Structures are given as structure tokens and as C-alpha cells.
Structure 1
Amino acid sequence: MISRRAVLRGAAGLAVGAALPTGLVGCSRGGGERVVRLAAGEAGGFYHAFALLLARAAAGSGLRIEVTATAGSLDNLTLLARGDADCALVLADSLVEDPDRPPAVGRVYENYLQLAVAVDSPYRGVADLRGARVNLGAAGSGATHIGEKLLTAAGVDLTEVTVTHLPLRDAAAEVSGGRLDALLWAGGLPTAALNPLRLLDLDPLTAVMRERFGYLYDPVLIPAGTYPNTAAVHTIGVANLLVATPTLPDATVGALTEVLLTHADSLVPSEAAGTQFLDARSLIGTGSVPLHPGAAAVYRRHHG
């Protein structure tokens, strides 16, 4: 059997940085494939790894998925709004606050908030970060949005911290080198760039986040040993949705939905240890975000 890691390496060749002309979307090209431009996330993160596997799985379905690396959720919503992407991976809390939110193809997996500090750091909780230098995700990422809420929930005003917005790998290097005190990442488990940093326990803030900002914030556990020589850590999970522009043809979205339903086992990146939602009952759990008609039709056909 081919390992998930080998599949991920093979999928890497499918990434395409340049967006295709809108006129090609959903239309035949080459051997009759329909092209879908998918806004993913940072290379090295779960969004991007998942998107590459989805592109590989779709290759025999009549779809060609062109994966674009981005900063994350907020960047992806911008690309959708201006017509430079057809589908995107987006944190649920970033999506529900968008007045022009696109319809969902499905709820695909759980993102884990990971607030990381150096192993020998004196910081033990979010409230300790007053006066600290904190990276709240790359500009345009969903971590930026959540990070501000997290600090507020802990009683830390944004004026009390020095905030930066570096990409994940750069931020991890700055924390390791002592030039930053902490970084926030929203992604899968484990994320290689966070090793050998230490994660702060966010358990005291889960209820506060839910009370102040809504039901989208789940109490989740990062198991012991997820990162080398680490104990279990309680943190906060946020569901991730795959969304599409309303104008993407129903048949194209339907074909994409079929890939999610029929290739679930091959769509879990090798680094994933968290909760996946790749079955019909969970995929449709998109909350207040309506399903795209093309996706809804496929779910009804499979499960009534």
C-alpha cells in the first residue's frame, strides 16, 4: 500500500500558483476536464496539504483542481469575492461574519488553535502575554481573526502586546530564536513547524470564547505525544468549511462533493491527528452557512 506521506509528496506536483481565467471554470479543457481554482493556505500547513490530496483524488473524476497557496481564511474569502478563486478552505468563524458568505460544499475537518512559546519560556497562559511579542498568524489568515478574540477573552488588550503577522515558518524561527515570545497557529495536528515549541493550555478560555463569540469554538484535546515528549494540552477547535462561489455550476460542485464522499480515506494528510468530517452526516453540518445546491443534491442522492 502507498503511504499517506508518499501520496502527499506525489500530490505536491499539482500545486499551481497562477489563477486560471474565469471563463475556463466549470468548462471542458483538454480531455474534457472541468477546472476548479482552490484557494488553500500556507505551504506546510493542513489547508495546503488537504487541498493537494483533494486535487489528486479528483484527477480521475473529470475535475482538475488548481491549488493556490494563500495566507489563509481571510485571504481566501478575498480571492473568492474578486473572482480569483472558485472554491476555498475557510475557518467557520471567519465565514459566518462575512455578509457575502459563499455557500458550503461541506464541513471537512477541525482546526486546532495552537499558541506556541519556546520550551523554556516563562509564559503559562494567555493572560501572561501582556507586554509580549506575539505573532497572530500571517496577514489574511483566520488565526489573526481568532487571535484578537482569544486575547480579549483572556482580558488582554491589543495595546498591551506587540503583534506581528509573519508566515508560520518565519514566526516559528523567530520564537525559537527569542525574537518573538509566542505565535498562534490554527491548523491540523501535528504541524511540523511547531516542533520543538511548547503549547499553552487554552482550556480556561473555551467557555469564555463560546459565551462571548458564539458556539463555533469547541473544547478539544491535543493528545500526549502529538509533538515529541509533550503532555496532553487542552485547546480550542474551530471547524473548517470547503466553500464555493454561488456561480460555480451545480454539476461541478456535485462532482467535487462526490470526491469528498468517495475518497475520504485518501484525503487525510499524513500529519493529521485531529477530527475529520469526511462522511455525509458530518459534511452537511455547516451550521448557519447554507450548502451549495450542487452539494445538497449529492448528499440527498446518497442519504435521502
Structure 2
Amino acid sequence: MIERRKFLALTVFGIAAGAAGCGRDADRVRLASGEVGGFYHAFAQLLAAVAAEAGTVRIEPVPTAGSQENLAMLASGEVNAALALADSVRDEREPMLALGRVYENYLQLAVQKDGPIQQVTDLRGARVNLGAAGSGAAVTGERLLWAAGLNPDVDVDISHRPLRDAVAGVESGELDALLWAGGVPTGVLDVPQQLRLVELGDLAAPMRERFGHLYDLVVIPADAYEGGRAVHTVGVANLLLAAPSMSDAAAGAIVNLLVSRADRLVPAEAAGTQFLDTRQLIGTDSVPLHPGAAAVYRRRHG
């Protein structure tokens, strides 16, 4: 009888412990972010930190190459949340939900400070890095070239290196230009000491006409890079996405953090537009909101 009681007690304890463990796993969110030194990675780290303080959800940032890799990881189940540029999401076929529209990414075409490239059309025949393989810049960059009248497959020698490698390539002259989609300032870009940003503002309208309304005319402020000048460029919103399998509780907890801790979620790279208020967060274009996220937005804003 004693042995039977011990067995039953251990069985009940095991079931309870297993249930608690499952609960903890259900509240764990693996968030595909981006390259170390970039906006996505910085934002994911801040979100994880405020989540740890709040104790309502556990967020584990996963460094990646960027939007395209993030979407692939989300589709495969390797992660259950991801950051991605809105135009990369538009091309995605896999089912996904949104937690919110969080920030504007700025396209930054960087060249040598005293180099000859003054506009995108000068890239004909040039060696250009269009973001790391798996990044959103790889998609957006090709669209930028098409909008400027260049064929990415014919007119430009394209590579896909990580940001730090690309910066080293431009500074050494191995590359003529690099395109980066991120917040401003991006510390790895040594502007204006070594690098110069090329004006891209004239291509915002052609990109909208050809590829849709996701592209905005934005301005990188003169004080974004110390000693730099104001530069007109193209902005693309980025979305915080969730797998349909994410629990309502986890989705709601993250949205509560986006709204209530907005002032704690502004990376140094976010001198540009941020969308961390309820009215802007819900603007996720064609991606439906996660039910847990929608419930929180309704409670907060009606």
C-alpha cells in the first residue's frame, strides 16, 4: 500500500510538473531578429528585456540575416515570431499573423565618401552589395534598381554579404556600394567620415507605382549621423509577425508590452518613424492580426 501511494504521488507530481513545463514552453517566444549591429537585433533585445521584467512572456531573440530568413524560419516552425519588412511579407505564401507594425526601415545606399557615384543610375556596371543573403534588402534592393531603370540581372554586379563585411568592402574599394535597410543611425556605417549616403527619394514614387503602396518618401535627418547631411530616401514599414500556433496569452502579452513599454523599445538606431501606439500598430496591411493581439487592441482602443 505504501509503495502504491508513493507511485500515485510520484505520478501526480510528474503530471503537474509536466503541465507546468508545457505552460512555460507555451509562453516562450523565439523571435527571429536580424544581424548583430542592426535595428532588428537591437529591437528584439529590448523587447526581451522588458518581457523579462514584466514576467508575462519569455522572449528569446534569434540572430539571423534578416527578413527572408526570418520568414522561412517562421514557416518551418523554427521560431514562432519574426520581424520582417512589409514588402518581403507581401510576397510570402505561408499563413502568418501580425502582432503589430512597429517601425519604419530606411533604405541607405552607402558609397565611398569621395567616390563618383551620385545617384542610383551611376550603379550601372558597379559592384553592389544588396544586403546579406536572406535579408529583406535583397528583395527591396532589386526593386529599387528596377525603379531606377536598371536590370539587376544584367546591369549590376550584385553580391550578398553581411553588413560588416559589406562596409569593409566599400571602404577598401572592393565594392562600389552597399544597400542597407535599417534604422538610423546604423553605427556600422561610418557616415560621413568614410561613407556617404546617396539620395533615393526620387525613387519612392516609381517604386509605389510599380510594386505597390508599401514604399514611403522619408528623410534621414541631418543630425542622424553626426556631421552628416539630410538625405531623402525610401522607407518600408516592418512588421512583428507571429505563427498561427502562438497562444493568445503570449500574443496579448507581447502587444501589451508594445503599447505600455513603448518608451523602452526605442533602439539607438530608431531616429526615424516609430509606430508604437495603438492606432499605428494595427496598420499591418494585408496580414491579419493574431486574435490575442486583436483582443488587446480592442480593449485599449475600442
What is the TM-score of this pair, normalised by structure 2?
Answer: 0.90
Structure 1 stretches lacking a partner, 5+ long = 1-22
**Mapped partners of 1:108, 1:101: distance in 2:** 20
**Bigger radius of gyration among the two:** 2
Counterpart of 1:229 in structure 2 is: 227
* 2:200 is the counterpart of 1:202: yes
Deviations 1:146-188 (A, max 9, x none): 0100111111112111111000011001101111000000000
Deviations 1:225-271 (A, max 9, x none): 31132211000000010000011111111111111111000000123
For 1:134, give the aligned amino acid.
V
**Mapped partners of 1:35, 1:200: distance in 2:** 41
Structure 2 stretches lacking a partner, 5+ long = 1-17
**Mapped partners of 2:230, 2:256: distance in 1:** 36
Matches within 5 A, 1:59-138: 59=52, 60-138=54-132
Counterpart of 1:175 in structure 2 is: 170
3-state SS of the aligned residue for 2:267?
A: coil
Shift of 1:28: 2.7
Shift of 1:195: 1.2
* Percent of matched pairs sharing the same residue: 62
Residue from 41, 58, 69 that aligns with 2:34? 41
Q: Does the Cα contact within 8 Å between 1:61 and 1:255 map onto a contact in 2?
A: no
**Mapped partners of 1:251, 1:36: distance in 2:** 11
**Mapped partners of 1:270, 1:123: distance in 2:** 28
Residue from 238, 241, 247 that aligns with 1:240? 238
Shift of 1:33: 8.2
3-state SS of the aligned residue for 1:160?
A: coil
**Mapped partners of 1:283, 1:47: distance in 2:** 16
* 2:157 is the counterpart of 1:162: yes
Counterpart of 2:13 in structure 1 is: none
> Aligned Cα RMSD in Å?
1.6
* 2:285 is the counterpart of 1:297: no
Q: Does the Cα contact within 8 Å between 2:27 and 2:247 map onto a contact in 1?
A: no
**Mapped partners of 1:104, 1:61: distance in 2:** 22
Counterpart of 1:193 in structure 2 is: 188
3-state SS of the aligned residue for 2:166?
A: helix
**Mapped partners of 2:285, 2:76: distance in 1:** 25
Q: Does the Cα contact within 8 Å between 1:191 and 1:271 map onto a contact in 2?
A: yes
What is the TM-score of this pair, normalised by structure 1?
Answer: 0.89
3-state SS of the aligned residue for 2:116?
A: coil
Counterpart of 1:17 in structure 2 is: none
Q: How many residues align?
A: 279
Shift of 1:101: 4.2
* 2:49 is the counterpart of 1:56: yes
**Mapped partners of 2:211, 2:200: distance in 1:** 16
